[in-house]
């Protein structure tokens, strides 16, 4: 496969382990293994202590598949496939699409959500979120992009990088539109569970629409990206079977320790998520006051979910140049919108980490002293 570089991942590869401060991470605060193991039920703890490091089941550990199914009302373990999250996108696209198919993908987007299809010879149309309407998706705009040969629509809510979450009724109308035309939906729900305050948790697309495949995982809201653990969930048994067969050529099966740690995380979902949400929404208040202080420098719609926002930087001509100078001068890494191939006027902030207030204060001081 001839595929271009994954710009955002290459940018992180350059800075994630060398920059002093990270202000662009999409994942929430992580925890050490001992803390997660300390939360485990007695049964799962026993499973961990006696775990043999052999190959595991291609579809995933039965207990893990059960725990994943429990996140999707009306679906069972037989509707689930355990994957590495990034691998899930690859498996879905390579199982469903062929050269010449038309795909519509939300934009801006995590690059693999459109790049894999494009590299397979599909034509991909960008369904651009409306910045003037707090990055809301517009169904009329989608309808104008659909064609008779459209095979797949790709969405991601809560959205990376803008924090967009559609309003009530939007998803129902989306499913009706796709159903009418027999179009599949990849719903990337990696940031599910990071809805604000008491807002209801996003209802997974696979629950509501038979041609939908939900991608979920433990990397973001749970803060456990090192487990490399995610899942695909769908009612389409044939598609699930094809994706699992393709997995024989990617990872064959998941990592045994990671699967058991994943069961522990899902067993303790409520406690872990409550802590992450507390941190995210405390940080968001600080971010809001930061944007008010620097309103001549940033314009930002309040994110409706997730752990990121995507402000327009009105105070500089090029965010790529700004971010490079910023990391050089202060050690703060911020990802510019060029890494999303989405112009040169935005940056991505991630506010799921404990050190966020301190790093934001350094950035605030930098802007005040260099740009005022
Ligand atoms: C929207 C989205 N989907 C999928 C992924 C892939 O997740 P992972 O890095 O855990 O494989 C990411 C990672 O940033 C993401 O933001």
DSSP string, 91-121: HHHHHH--TT-EEEEEES--THHHHHHHHTT
At residue 213, the pLDDT reads 98
Euclidean distance between CA atoms 247 and 249, whole angstroms: 5
Q: Of 268, 287, 314, which marks where a domain is finished?
A: 268
Q: Tokens 């939900």 correspond to what residue?
A: 214
Say if residue 177 is in the same domain as residue 76: yes
At residue 199, the pLDDT reads 84
At residue 198, the pLDDT reads 80
Q: Is residue 45 part of a domain?
A: no
Say if residue 183 is in the same domain as residue 253: yes
Provide the pairing of β-strand 212-217 with 21-22.
unpaired
Say if residue 287 is in the same domain as residue 366: yes
Say if residue 84 is in the same domain as residue 118: yes
CATH number of the domain residue 348 falls in = 3.90.1150.10
Closest atom of ligand 1 to 217 CA is: 10
Say if residue 250 is in the same domain as residue 305: no
Q: Tokens 């598949």 correspond to what residue?
A: 65
Of 301, 262, 298, 304, which Cα lies nearest the Cα of 281?
304
At residue 1, the pLDDT reads 84
| 316 neighbors 345 (Cβ within 8 angstroms) | no
Domain with 335, as residue range(s), is 7-32+270-371
At residue 219, the pLDDT reads 98
Ligand 1 neighbourhood includes 24 CB (under 6 angstroms): no
| 192 neighbors 202 (Cβ within 8 angstroms) | yes
Q: Is 83 helix (H, G, I), strand (E, B) or coil?
A: strand
Q: Of 246, 268, 290, which marks where a domain is finished?
A: 268
Whole-Å CA distances, 271 to 105, 264, 284: 34, 12, 20
Which residues are paired to 346 by β-bridges?
A: 312
| 206 neighbors 177 (Cβ within 8 angstroms) | no
Question: Kindly report the CA angle at 58 between 208 and 114, in degrees rounded to 5?
Answer: 55
Q: Is residue 351 part of a domain?
A: yes
Category of 151 on φ-ψ map: left (φ > 0), alpha (ψ -120 to 50) or beta: alpha
At residue 196, the pLDDT reads 81
pLDDT in tens, 198-243: 888 999 999 999 999 999 999 999 999 999 999 999 999 999 999 9
Instruction: Walk along the chain (372 residues) in steps of 10 and give the mean pLDDT of each run.
Output: 94 96 98 98 98 98 98 98 98 98 98 98 98 96 98 98 94 98 98 89 96 98 98 98 98 98 98 97 96 97 95 97 98 98 98 98 97 82
At residue 167, the pLDDT reads 87
| 318 neighbors 326 (Cβ within 8 angstroms) | no
Closest atom of ligand 1 to 85 CA is: 11
The number of folded domains in the chain is: 2
Of 250, 244, 194, which Cα lies nearest the Cα of 80?
244
Ligand 1 neighbourhood includes 110 CB (under 6 angstroms): yes
Q: Of 236, 268, 300, which marks where a domain is finished?
A: 268
Ligand 1 neighbourhood includes 88 CB (under 6 angstroms): no
Ligand 1 neighbourhood includes 283 CB (under 6 angstroms): no
């Amino acid at each position: 496969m001839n595929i271009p570089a994954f710009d955002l991942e290459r940018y992180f590869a350059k800075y994630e382990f060398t920059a002093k401060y990270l202000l662009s991470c999409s994942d929430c605060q992580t925890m050490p293994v001992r803390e997660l193991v300390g939360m485990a039920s007695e049964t799962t703890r026993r499973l961990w202590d006696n775990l043999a490091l052999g190959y595991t089941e291609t579809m995933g550990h039965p207990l893990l598949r059960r725990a994943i199914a429990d996140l999707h009302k009306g679906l069972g373990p037989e509707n689930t496939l355990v994957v590495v999250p990034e691998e899930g996108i690859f498996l879905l696209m390579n199982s469903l699409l062929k050269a010449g198919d038309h795909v519509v993908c939300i934009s801006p987007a995590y690059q693999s959500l459109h790049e894999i299809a494009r590299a397979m010879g599909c034509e991909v149309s960008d369904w651009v979120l409306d910045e003037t309407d707090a990055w809301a998706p517009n169904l009329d705009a989608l309808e104008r992009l659909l064609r008779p040969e459209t095979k797949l629509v790709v969405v991601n809510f809560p959205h990376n990088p803008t924090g967009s979450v559609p309003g009530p009724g939007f998803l129902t109308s989306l499913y009706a539109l796709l159903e009418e035309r027999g179009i599949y939906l990849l719903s990337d729900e990696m940031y599910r569970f990071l809805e604000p305050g008491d807002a209801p948790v996003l209802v997974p697309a696979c629950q509501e629409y038979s041609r939908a495949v939900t991608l979920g995982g433990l990397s973001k809201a749970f803060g456990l990206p090192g487990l490399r653990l995610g899942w695909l969930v769908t009612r389409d048994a044939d598609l699930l079977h094809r994706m699992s067969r393709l997995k024989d050529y990617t990872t064959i099966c998941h990592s045994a320790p990671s699967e058991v740690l994943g069961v522990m995380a899902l067993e303790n979902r409520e406690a872990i998520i409550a802590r992450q949400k507390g941190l995210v929404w405390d940080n968001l208040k600080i971010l809001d006051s930061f944007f008010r202080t620097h309103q001549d420098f940033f314009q930002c719609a309040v994110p409706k979910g997730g752990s990121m926002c995507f402000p327009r930087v009105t105070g500089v001509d090029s965010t790529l140049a700004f971010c490079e100078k910023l990391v050089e001068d202060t050690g703060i890494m911020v990802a510019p919108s060029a890494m999303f191939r989405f112009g040169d006027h935005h940056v991505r902030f991630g506010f799921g980490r404990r050190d966020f207030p301190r790093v934001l204060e350094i950035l605030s001081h930098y802007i005040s002293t260099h740009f005022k």
